[in-house]
Amino acid sequence: MTMTGAPLAAVFGMAGLTLADAERAFFKQVRPAGYILFARNIENPQQVIALVNDLRGLNPDFEAFVLIDQEGGRVQRLKPPHWRHAPASGEFEPLFKSNPARAEEIVRLNLQLIGEELRALGIDVDCAPVADVPVAGAHDIIGDRAFSKDPAVVGRLAVSVCEGLRDAGVVPVIKHIPGHGRAMSDSHLELPVVTASLDELRATDFVPFKHLSAQPGLMFAMTAHVVYTAIDPGLPATTSPKVISDIIRGEIGFQGILISDDLGMKALAGPFDERADAARVAGCDLMLHCDGNLADMQAVARTAGTLGARGLAALGDTGARRPRAKIAQTPASEFRILDALRHV
């Protein structure tokens, strides 16, 4: 890979099904490391393929990441009739309780099927798995997006998600590090504050992320817009150097690509250039902005900085974004998943 300069350390969304002239000029100028797709950008397979090719063609000296949230359940941007409806993570817990090895196998197959659908469109990064551990009374923003309230179960099945995606040549994004499961509010709407002790966090929230961080292979992790009073009472994880350095990189041991959650969420405050700068200074490798607002993206671009050595290495590791053992999207594969869930 020969680049004319390091790409911008940002991942941007766009407004519609095709690029507007102003978006095209902006992306071509600032050269973001990646793009993220939402339902507003999706109509049918042919249109998505054309959009992805258009995005990557803007800066052909590197293969930009293209991300999407395709977890299964209520969070999947690709929907029927063109794409399968995948089960929510929480649907696999009963199977795990009866047959853990079978559950790991079926989760891996489920995510390999998702990964095959993504790769067919040119999408190479999936914002999954959710490795959060919900607690009683927490806001339902996580809910059945998590595998279980048992951190050991979450860790094991989240590894299966990563394996299935990588089998299809798709890079997983574990989220929301160091844990969103205790949040009593939705970070899309306000800033959650978690008052659990550090010992409580270590015993539950951190466990799946430590387990995942010990696994081989390229992974991204997405930060939580959550304040943990036991670690840094003044800043959410996304903009806290202490949380990122001491906990995410240190205690948890995650050494992959750290991407901020969406800078446009209401958990964060202030102008967008300040939000991006705070996330960059705290230690995020990539700044994420999702809603396609051009003025806000321009502000992010002013302070996001360029991709560092860790991000450049990942961007150049195209081998990690190639299928390992392609499988056919067959009714038999789908039946194996549904049959396993129905006969617990």
Active centre residues (catalytic): 188, 261
First to last CA, the chain: 48
Residue matched to tokens 């998943």: 337
CB 108 within 8 A of CB 170: no
Nearest Cα residue to 128 out of 167, 89, 178: 89
Question: 288: how many CB neighbours lie within 10 A of its CB?
Answer: 28
Cα–Cα distance measured from residue 14 to residue 10, given in angstroms and rounded to the nearest whole number: 13
Nearest Cα residue to 89 out of 135, 138, 158: 158
CA distance to 118, 178, 309, 321, per residue, from 1 (Å): 23, 33, 14, 14
Bridge partners (DSSP) listed for residue 228: 194, 232
Beta 125-126 vs 70-72: how paired, if at all?
Answer: unpaired
Nearest Cα residue to 37 out of 90, 83, 87: 83
Give me 317's structure tokens: 């590791």
H or E element in which residue 277 lies: helix 272-282
- Strand ranges in the chain using DSSP code E only, listed in sequence order: 8-12, 32-37, 65-68, 70-72, 75-76, 125-126, 171-177, 193-194, 220-223, 227-228, 232-236, 257-259, 287-289
Give me 343's structure tokens: 């006969």
Cα–Cα distance measured from residue 72 to residue 192, given in angstroms and rounded to the nearest whole number: 25
